[in-house]
Amino acid sequence: MDPNSNKNNQNKNNKPNRYLRGVLTLIAWALVFVVGFNYLNAYTGNASNKSTSYEVKYSEFIDMVERNQVADVEFKDNTVYATPVDGYVYTDKDGKTHTQTEKTKITLYTTQLNDKDLLPLLNEHHVDYTSPYKAKMSPVLEFMVAYILPTIVMVGLFMLLIRFISKSGGGIGGIGNVGKSNAKVYMEKSTGVTFKDVAGQDEAKESLEEIIDFLHNPQKYTAIGAKLPKGALLVGSPGTGKTLLAKAVAGEANVPFFSISGSDFVEMFVGVGASRVRDLFKEAAKVAPCIIFIDEIDTIGKTRDSGRFGGNDEREQTLNQLLAELDGFDPGKGIIVLGATNRPEVLDKALLRPGRFDRRITVDRPNLAGRLATLQVHTRNIHLAEDVNLEKIAQATAGCVGADLANLVNEAALRAVRKGRKAVNQNDLLAAFEVVIAGSEKKGTVITQEEKRIIAYHEVGHALVAAKQKNAQPVSKITIVPHTQGALGYTLHLPEEEKFLMSREDILAEIRTLLAGRSSEEIVCNTMTSGAANDIERATELARNLVARFGMSDEFDMMALGTVQNQYLDGTYSMSCAQETYAAADRATIQIIRQCHEEAKQILRDNRELLDKIAAYLLKKETITGQEMMAIIEGRDPETVDNYGATKEGDQPLFRPSVPDVIEAPAKHINIVSEPIPMPDFDEKGEEQSEEQPEETNE
């Protein structure tokens, strides 16, 4: 006999026994719950009856009937229940008085006796009496309804619960954690961010420093009667450092920091978001003083729409709960709510009123000093070469936010590693800036000689018209090298100083500069290409803003024809005027574009000789700086100019072929043989061809 087979048989026999034992256990527990529930129900029923019913003697009951103090009588279960008339005062055994009124009714009961004179007495004193009809039920059926049926239901519920627990891996987190808050908690400086890590936002930091001081020294403010602001709303464009500022506040205050996104509140189930809001503020109250940071608060804080179907919308319930919590907590405990959004125009007015978000802190794009400070923060751990001048990089990166500058520094470090250097130089920073705005160079693009000529005149047209206007931004770089973001070439304009206002002359000069590329194609090449598509789009937007938003049109004077939709995102706006006015605005826009187009062509005709000289130099070098272009205009040597402090690197070989026959056709490398051969090294051959190419160009 095999002992293993005996064990297997025993296990097989034990399985039904275990299952039966489990079912019996469930039934036993269900019976216990049902019996306990029935007894509890009976006890609570008796207790509730005793709280409003009082026992009297039968003789007292007869005396009350004779004194006309009984309103009605009910005979039930060998007991007489009497309801006194309004105003009757009953005194119990403890000496307490109970008055019969409509709101506080009392019932007096006594044992029913075999009294034949009772009914005539009730009729004589006009007392209503009745005995409720009760249908007779079989004792077996009554037992089944009271005990058997609830037991079956209870066993079924237990089995469903056990099956659910087994499927969820032994836990009921799928149910218990639905309403739990998903906020991350950073305790005491573990955010790792302080105000030293935030630069370029001095105004926002100054507004938040008072909140930090209140968390450290609340008695200084409460002594004069001041209250801590309950919340502050951080508003700004993406990448300006709103989340970083919130973490810095928690790091400076040395208090717990709850960080949660607005999308974490909204779930498929209605009411879950409101439950998570309650849980978040409950947890924050336990560790107060603390800071609650809600990122992208516009997800749940949008204006409530009255056109929705009822008030059961999940987002609306979450917002209502958030409003209630902001009103409910005590500001003296030190709970501060920080919200961040780049869409303040869609937020509900009830959320923005004082008493909830008391302060609105704008986190704007940094100015020149702010960009310099931001670059210094991001380059603290970067090895910089001696020629690095961060002031000129800050000047070149006008309009960039903190995230752009951080990306720029990182791209410069990566470029230095690719070039085999151990430190980042000025060229790396400038090249990284161009990678951020235009993408990296596309080295495999084949451009014909005619296309290179058109692209060169197109870009030089932009640069020359900008140089010949007083209100235009100076040119920093001109290139006809294709880039990964779709540009076959570009002209980079960088302002010499910070400008926060644009005059009508500035806008018209910008439109002329944008249209100068197409104008140069028309004058020199007698053609029009699709390369001016982006220029035309931007010029049209500027001309339409001049007419519809800035009030600089003689026809419409200072009438606003549109409203801005997303101030801190794309800045788009929608027209809010009549169709006739819209058509007239289009005609005024076309007139401005046509006039600027003619003026740009006239500037190029008057400077045709310079246009040809700069284009020839650009075709030779493929990338030139604005200083080199100005040297050609002024008759100086373009090789001796400065480029934002960058040292000149070795001449790079021209890798873009001008004729297709430079790259051999793939068919020339196909050989039909009986055994495989290694593929030729195209890269090595391409480098040899690229070294030979400049000699052909010089010729």
Which residues are known to be catalytic?
Answer: 459
Q: How far apart are CA 127 and CA 689, in angstroms?
A: 122
Q: How far apart are CA 367 and CA 495, in angstroms?
A: 12
Q: Which of 166, 164, 184 is nearest to 175 (CA)?
A: 164
Q: Which helix (H) or strand (E) holds 25?
A: helix 3-52
Alpha carbons within 13 angstroms on the beta-carbon side of residue 350 total 16
CA dist list (Å): 161 to 155, 157, 165, 364 = 10, 6, 6, 54
Q: Which phi and psi (to 5°) does residue 564 adopt?
A: -75, 135
Alpha carbons within 13 angstroms on the beta-carbon side of residue 657 total 16
Q: How far apart are CA 460 and CA 607, in angstroms?
A: 12
Residues whose CB falls within 8 Å of the CB of residue 289, separated by 6 or more in sequence, listed in order: 215, 218, 253, 255, 333, 334, 335, 336
Q: How far apart are CA 161 and CA 166, in angstroms?
A: 9
Bond preceding residue 289 cis, omega within 30 of 0: yes
Query: Radius of gyration (Cα) for the chain, nearest Å?
Result: 43
Q: Which of 504, 530, 508 is nearest to 517 (CA)?
A: 530
Residues whose CB falls within 8 Å of the CB of residue 104, separated by 6 or more in sequence, listed in order: 98
Q: Which of 210, 187, 207, 205 is nearest to 241 (CA)?
A: 205
CB 86 within 8 A of CB 74: no
Determine the 3-state secondary structure of 144 from DSSP: helix
| 597 torsion bin: left (phi>0), alpha (psi -120 to 50), beta (else) | alpha
CB 446 within 8 A of CB 656: yes
Q: How far apart are CA 463 and CA 621, in angstroms?
A: 16
Q: Based on the number of CB atoms within 10 Å of its own CB, is 59 exposed (0-12), middle (13-18) or buried (19 or more)?
A: exposed
Q: How far apart are CA 140 and CA 142, in angstroms?
A: 5
Q: Which of 430, 593, 400 is nearest to 498 (CA)?
A: 400
CB 189 within 8 A of CB 251: yes
Residues whose CB falls within 8 Å of the CB of residue 312, separated by 6 or more in sequence, listed in order: 270
Q: Based on the number of CB atoms within 10 Å of its own CB, is 334 exposed (0-12), middle (13-18) or buried (19 or more)?
A: buried
Quick count: other Cβ atoms within 10 Å of Cβ 132? 8
Determine the 3-state secondary structure of 180 from DSSP: coil
Q: Label the pairing between strands 53-55 and 107-111.
A: parallel
Say which amino acid occupies 623: T
Q: How far apart are CA 512 and CA 676, in angstroms?
A: 60
CA dist list (Å): 537 to 142, 457, 473, 530, 543 = 84, 20, 19, 12, 10
